[in-house]
Structure 1
Amino acid sequence: MTHGRTLADAFPVLGLRVTAGPVELRGIDDDTLLELAELAAQGVHTFDAMPFLMPWTLAPADRFHRQYLQYHWGVRSRFGSEAWSLDLAVRHEGELVGTQGVATHDFLLTRSGETGSWLGLRHQGKGIGTLMRQTMCALLFDHLGFERVESAAWVDNAASNAVSRKVGYRPNGIVRKPRPLPASSGEPGRAAALEQRYLLEPADLVRGPDLQVEGVDALRGLIGLPVG
């Protein structure tokens, strides 16, 4: 017997809803998760590019949807006070366009985390990436107790680097890392590449539209912050 409890009561991430102008960030239920898998399968980047540290977009077509769902189910199952990832579905003018997230370890000590996101290929180049990052960072600073937010992109990923600069992140060093090869290479593997690191603090955030937030108190309780 559930006594009227919902999944959002048990896992408050599912009850979070943040709106800012035409953009909405919301907890990912299973129906939305399946929609996101289909959107991602339609394309997130071009054939000759690999913007991600983990090449999840190269999963074979017959396993793509299952692996995408399994990854997000794993994120839910591992959510705890020591380490957690907050992944939210992004809608623009009501249409599902991608995800925006943040990952953190030892949050109550560090008050910091790293943002990450993806947009369906057909939704790119319209300013949506900037707006959803502004929305996420305002949520983190204003409602979830963050004091620092980091991000990173390969140095040749012009779009991601541009979004970071527009939102107010400052360059924070360049590191050399193994980078997965794109599909156009014709073979699996990795090559050394340069990654630009970024840091954002509250005073530097270039804000977008004002936020309207629902379900944040329950999420604060889940991550160990005071409620009310």
Structure 2
Amino acid sequence: MRLETPRLELRPPHDGELAALADVAAGGIHLPGERPFLTPWTHLPPQERALYVMQQHWLSRGQWLPEAWSLGLGVFREGQPIGMVSLRGRDFPVLREVKTGSWLGLAFHGQGYGTEARAALLHLAFAELGAVAALSEVFQDNAASQGVSRTLGYRPDGISRDVLDGQPVVSDRLRLTREDWERHQRTPVTVTGLEACRRFFFPEP
């Protein structure tokens, strides 16, 4: 399965591509001092950070169930790996809700790739899989991710509180309904190869 936008291709990476994506993560995905994720994997030493990316991808594939899945896709620009995105569902055949996650190599920030990649995931969720909502949780000081969500039509849906480094942190909960997605979607997306994978999202009767 692959998703194509005007500038990007998103697809499940083979092991060689996964290693290249891990190298992108090892090179850094945010500025020093920033903490965009609740799990502090980006502050690991470069080699451990790369290993974390590979292990998490393999773990998600190995634990896949129709009632609880996480689809990890490499993001490629003209064949060059630039980051990864994920689309996650829990009890999706009933709830029809998804969550998204992403990271890009630091050199690829600020060029609209994050918005374009998430738009591709949302197209897969809403147009191809029949989702009714997409959810996100973003630290209140994560201006880049907040901006992507606003551009794509997410609306406030409360807050959540967690602990990071022994201190409370607050995230904005955001929700994108199918109606708001239809009003805001602007990125053309082509999906190929989904039919052969559909049984992984919807259990056999």
TM class by shorter chain equals over 0.9
2:38 equivalent to 1:50: no
Counterpart position of 1:173: 158
Point out the structure with max Rg over C-alpha: 1
What stretches of structure 1 move > 3 A for 4+ residues in a row?
none
2:94 equivalent to 1:118: no
| CA distance in structure 1 between the partners assigned to 2:195 and 2:94 by the alignment | 20
| CA distance in structure 2 between the partners assigned to 1:19 and 1:61 by the alignment | 30
2:201 equivalent to 1:223: yes
Identity of aligned residues (%): 37
Counterpart position of 1:104: 89
- Cα deviation, residue 225, structure 1: 6.5
| 1:143/1:172 CA distance change after superposition, 3 Å | same
> CA RMSD, aligned part only?
1.5
- Cα deviation, residue 53, structure 1: 1.3
Counterpart position of 1:198: 174
Counterpart position of 2:189: 211
| CA distance in structure 2 between the partners assigned to 1:18 and 1:73 by the alignment | 20
| 1:62/1:115 CA distance change after superposition, 3 Å | closer
Q: Specify the code of the residue in structure 1 equivalent to 2:66.
A: S
User: Secondary structure of the residue that 2:145 maps to in structure 1?
Assistant: helix
| CA distance in structure 1 between the partners assigned to 2:128 and 2:25 by the alignment | 29
Of the three residues 53, 66, 70, the one matched with 1:68 is 53
Q: Which runs of 5+ in 2 are unaligned?
A: none
| CA distance in structure 2 between the partners assigned to 1:48 and 1:133 by the alignment | 25
For normalisation by structure 1, the TM-score amounts to 0.84
Counterpart position of 1:41: 26
Greater CA drift, 54-63 or 107-116: 54-63
| CA distance in structure 1 between the partners assigned to 2:77 and 2:96 by the alignment | 29
Would you say the 8 A contact 1:154–1:194 is kept in 2? yes
- How do 1:77-88 and structure 2 match up within 5 A? 77-88=62-73
User: Secondary structure of the residue that 2:138 maps to in structure 1?
Assistant: strand
Counterpart position of 2:14: 29
User: Secondary structure of the residue that 1:166 maps to in structure 2?
Assistant: helix
Would you say the 8 A contact 1:34–1:69 is kept in 2? yes
Length, aligned pairs only: 202
Would you say the 8 A contact 2:25–2:49 is kept in 1? no
